[in-house]
Amino acid sequence: MLTFIIRRLLQVPVVMLVLSILIVGLTQLLTPQQRAAPYIRSDQQSARLEQIIRERGLDQPFPIQYAKWLGKTLQGDLGYSTASSKDVIPTIQERLPNTIELTLVTALPILLIGIWLGTLSALNKDKAIDQILRVLTIVGYSLPTFVLGIVLLAVFYGYLGWLPGAGQLNIINEISKGDLTRYTGLLSLDAALNGRWDVAWDVLQHMFLPALTLTIVSVTTIIKVMRNNMLEALTSDYVRTARAKGLSSRVVNNKHARRNALLSIVTLGGFLIIGLMSGSLITETIFAYPGVGQWVVQAALRFDLSAVLGFALLSALIVVLVSTVVDILYGVVDPRVRFD
């Protein structure tokens, strides 16, 4: 077990290294001047273009260039992002907690609703409720995120005016945001910890529509997988044995069948977090939510290479770490899995 964990963790830097070689290698299609642009922090510096190219070895052969890039990156210098008018690392520090907050607020309802409806569907196989849920599932995963997001925005903000349309806070609370002591970085939680329930409520209201969009798009996968797992578990031998020895169907369904059906939800939970991260590009843009996804889209629009590169490294790191954790967790919940 321990060696497995260590080996998996050792793979993380290798994957990151190879990925960065690929992406930095791709920038070789550009001229040295274009590659230097990410490091210009102000108009005055644009006069130093040639100097920056020399400093960073941008006109040197690729191995030297990459070595210099790696050196700077390891020192925490990923360049300057024109999209946020800040360096890449501080931008990520400022925006990542918002994306994490949105992901957390979304992931829990998705898992709970998905498990509940999937089980319900399986226990009532081929009955009306199962048929309805199956059709709704197909409709759900047919809805493209960007269309659904805009439609929800139009209905709840444009037509009904029930919910705020954009951002994270209304203007008044935006001003008082600075007074909050940031314990966790998650704005709603921090506001509540500061006793500012009005601010916390405002944040939650702003998160409602993006979270709803992500939930509708992602919950269908969980429902489908849960239904299939549950059906498989219900026809297995140990469930038949449990029934034969006279256990009530509630105990059989909840204790024997569902527990085993839940196993693969651990894996799925990992995929879910990764899916929510890439979904954040679209939802955060629609609802102008100040997370990393919105930033990278703005950056891509301005060909802000340092931001896009930084974001790519960040998401790869998250994906690799999440899948490592999932693999380890899976071994913990399912003792049949052997680590070798």
Partner 1 sequence: MTTIPTLTNPTAGRSKWQLFWTGPAVRKLRRNPLAITGLVITLMFSLIALFAPLIAKPSGDCLRDLNITSANQVYNPASGAFWRSIFVPPKTCYKTERLSFAQQPTVPDAAAPFGTVNGYNIFYGLIWGTRTALKMSFIIVAITLTVGIVIGAISGYYGGWVDNLIQRFIDVLFALPSLILTVVILTILRAGNPGGDPTVPIIVSFCIAGWAGYARVVRGDVLRTRQLEYVDAARSMGARDMRLILQHVVPNSVASVLTLAVLDLATVPLSVAALSFLGLGFESGYAEWGQLVEFSRAWLKPEYWYVLAYPAAFIITFSLAFNLFGDGLRDALDPKSR
Site residues for partner 1 per CB under 8 A: 15-16, 18-19, 22-23, 26-27, 29-31, 34, 138-139, 141-147, 150-151, 153-154, 157-159, 165, 274-275, 277-278, 281-282, 285-286, 296-297, 299-301, 303, 305, 308-309, 311-312, 315-316, 319-320
Query: Closer CB to partner 1, residue 30 or residue 189?
Result: 30
Query: Closer CB to partner 1, residue 164 or residue 242?
Result: 164
Query: Closer CB to partner 1, residue 145 or residue 188?
Result: 145
Query: Closer CB to partner 1, residue 31 or residue 248?
Result: 31
Query: Closer CB to partner 1, residue 100 or residue 199?
Result: 100
Query: Closer CB to partner 1, residue 193 or residue 231?
Result: 231
Q: Are the beta carbons of 190 and 196 closer than 8 angstroms? A: no
The secondary element (H helix, E strand) that includes residue 330 is helix 305-333
Q: Are the beta carbons of 124 and 230 closer than 8 angstroms? A: no
Report in angstroms how near the CB of residue 205 gets to partner 1 at its nearest. Answer: 17
Q: Are the beta carbons of 287 and 210 closer than 8 angstroms? A: yes
Report in angstroms how near the CB of residue 303 gets to partner 1 at its nearest. Answer: 4
Query: Closer CB to partner 1, residue 123 or residue 309?
Result: 309
Helix%, strand%, coil% for the chain, nearest 5? 80, 0, 20
Report in angstroms how near the CB of residue 317 gets to partner 1 at its nearest. Answer: 9
**Block residue for tokens 């506001």:** 191
Report in angstroms how near the CB of residue 77 gets to partner 1 at its nearest. Answer: 20
Amino acid at 210: P
Checking 157-166 for CB contacts under 8 A at 24+ apart, the result is 157/209, 163/205, 163/208, 163/209, 164/202, 164/205, 164/206, 165/209, 165/287, 166/287, 166/288, 166/289
Report in angstroms how near the CB of residue 146 gets to partner 1 at its nearest. Answer: 4
Alpha-helical segments (H) within 235-304: 237-244, 249-251, 258-261, 263-286, 292-301
What secondary structure letter does DSSP report for 29?
Answer: G
Report in angstroms how near the CB of residue 336 gets to partner 1 at its nearest. Answer: 21
- Count, in order, helices (H) and strands (E) of the chain: 16, 2
Query: Closer CB to partner 1, residue 103 or residue 188?
Result: 103
Report in angstroms how near the CB of residue 260 gets to partner 1 at its nearest. Answer: 18
Report in angstroms how near the CB of residue 172 gets to partner 1 at its nearest. Answer: 23
Q: Which two tokens stand for residue 182?
A: 């940031």
Angle 339-8-99 from CA coordinates, rounded to 5°: 120
